[in-house]
Amino acid sequence: MNSKYAVSALCLVSSVLLYRPAFGHGTETHGKAKHADVQMKKMHHMMPRFSAAAASLEAALAKEDLTAAEAEANKILSALPDLEKSKPHKNLKEGPRFVELAKKEKLAVATTMDIAKKGDFAAALAAFKKAEAVCAECHAKFRD
Ligand code: HEC
């Protein structure tokens, strides 16, 4: 391998592994890639919190604790706009479907809370099962 190829290969590998453009090329493409990586990092931070919030929301609904349920639902709802802007690693071409699923998640969580506010916690729990089905639907298509 000559040195030009070695440098290109190294550049590519470090971009992928370190989530940043290697050696500061500063081209348009690298700029965009960097933006996507920042969103992706946000998503990695966001997702375990989603999991914790989903579990706590379910527990709060089971205990019929509306205040706690609202707090957990808000954690999920406030993170969803960032999720919509993220780029998954897999099935990149289906970006619009990704955004659609993030919106569907928002609607499902909002519906859950509307029902909970009316005091029907059993129905709210059932509605939240649908929200969790959206988590799984998105993971099936877009998670590695
Ligand atoms: C619009 C798509 C989408 C929705 C909706 C979604 N996720 Fe994810 N989630 C992803 C993707 C993509 C990844 C993989 C991120 C990666 O590793 O690049 C992921 C990863 C995760 C992970 C692993 C964390 C990690 O660091 O890899 C957890 C836990 C998780 N999601 C929980 C949830 C829960 C709980 C919900 C529903 C409340 C949810 N997600 C809804 C797309 C989604």
Higher pLDDT, 46 or 57: 57
Instruction: Look at 41 and 8; give whichever has higher pLDDT.
Output: 41
Reported as a single tens digit per residue, the pLDDT across 99-123 is 999 999 999 999 999 999 999 999 9
Q: Is the CB of 96 under 6 A from ligand 1?
A: no
Among 19, 40, 47, 128, which residue has the most ligand 1 atoms within 8 Å of its CB, making it the best to mutate? 47
- Comparing CA positions, the residue from 82, 122, 71 lying closest to residue 105 is 82
Joined tokens for residue 117: 């506010």
Euclidean distance between CA atoms 49 and 131, whole angstroms: 15
CA 46 to each of CA 20, 49, 53, 60, 124: distance values in angstroms, whole numbers, following the listed order = 20, 5, 10, 20, 24
Distance 46 CA to ligand 1 centre (A): 8
Lookup result for tokens 């998954």: 88
